[in-house]
Structure 1
């Protein structure tokens, strides 16, 4: 998956041996479903791509058609497989990985909390750029509603703080505060718990713990 934007369609399978490992544990493995978003095409130029152009949806698709195709995929999915649309934003550990390179990140930097200037652990936060992107996407989604953009009917969120912040900054005044949806926090819907400090569970939703529009499950 090309890390160019923050919207993607993933196939979740409990048995896939070649799936993209975005989430582990009993939630299974994920693989990217191509053909819907330009950011999933390896030929897409990361330096010129602008996800603000219809969130990267291919020009030959409309949002109602996208919704119909996702519904068709789920209706005809093999047993144990389902299709989900995910959304994510830029975090400090993403910046650090780019700055130091993947090898240095894996060998050393992912095991510490920061470099003295920025901090990415435990439980890495969104950067200011990530926060602004989430706010901008909220406005972009609002502008696409008239074009048939399919608003979520249900939402599930990782227990990591960056995911909770992305959720609230993107959907707060659109769906959460009006009470249209109460997202459910899934404790296991997250990266593998290992040596990387950004993935350590720490202070999820510290600012939103008392919010009435979020369901905290098994915390």
Structure 2
């Protein structure tokens, strides 16, 4: 799978303070998903430095497929009902400053800018080519669209959701998406036909939802 591929790269239950005190603490709750352990079944081993860079984390997930059951370790037929029942139990027992949320995070499919970066190499891309809209062969700016491969990767995410919806996973209550074309195209393909039953309304555009190096 090429650099910039779609990847459902992390799912976690995260306790969040309910009150806007100006101080927020975010932590993940381990033990539910294979993404907690990068050598777990379905996710090939990878070596990170003590403090992995966003690029290394991105490259790992880009080059690997969406894990079975989105990485949920429980593979039973009622896995999602049990998982969300546990999240409900955590919230019921939490203090008034803590809330447990479940996030499904996905990166956009391959865009033409990803093809260009692979063509010229990251140093040259960062230094020169990323500042242009194209090279006479490829057009990647000012707002790169998905390649055919990128659309195929988004379709894979669509099928993954189709399978897990049949297994009882609820649609997310909220959708947040970058306003960049490649992200919008990925979301549209991913949730096409699954939208009915979503309780959060139209997706919220969030301009700061971007991968940073």
Q: CA deviation digits over 1:89-133, x for unaligned, max 9?
A: 323223333443332222222212223322222122122112122
Corresponding position: 1:63 with 2:63: no
Residue 179 of structure 2 corresponds to residue 159 of structure 1: yes
Shift of 1:67: 3.8
1:169 maps to what in 2?
A: 189
What corresponds to 1:111 in structure 2? Answer: 131
Counterpart for residue 184 of structure 1: 203
In 1, the alpha carbon distance for the partners of 2:114 and 2:162 equals 27
The residue aligned with 1:51 is 66
| TM-score normalised by structure 2 residue count | 0.59
Query: Residue 207 of structure 1 aligns with which residue?
Result: none
Question: Superposition RMSD on alpha carbons, in Å?
Answer: 4.3
**8 Å CA contact retained: 1:157, 1:183:** no
* Gap regions ≥5 residues in structure 2: 17-23, 45-59
**Which of these two proteins has the greater Rg computed from alpha carbons?**
2
Deviates more, 1:42-51 or 1:112-121: 42-51
| C-alpha distance in 2 between matches for 1:99 and 1:127 | 14
1:37-58 CA distance string (max 9 Å, x none):
5457555436984326333333
- Aligned pair partner of 2:7 in 1, 5, 15: 5
Distance 1:41 1:102 in 2: 28
Task: Tell me the distance in 2 between the aligned counterparts of 1:169 and 1:4.
Answer: 12
1:155-183 CA-to-partner distances (Å, cap 9, x unmatched) read 1222111121112111121115x776532
Q: How many residues get paired? A: 178
SS at match of 1:6: strand
Gaps of 5+ in 1: 14-27, 195-219
Q: TM-score, normalised by structure 1?
A: 0.58
Instruction: Tell me the distance in 1 between the aligned counterparts of 2:156 and 2:73.
Output: 20
Instruction: Identify which of structures 1 and 2 has the higher relative contact order when contacts are C-alpha pairs closer than 8 Å and 6+ apart.
Output: 2
The verdict on how the C-alpha distance between 1:131 and 1:7 changes in structure 2, with shifts beyond 3 A counting, is: same
Q: Distance in 2 between matches of 1:35 and 1:99?
A: 40
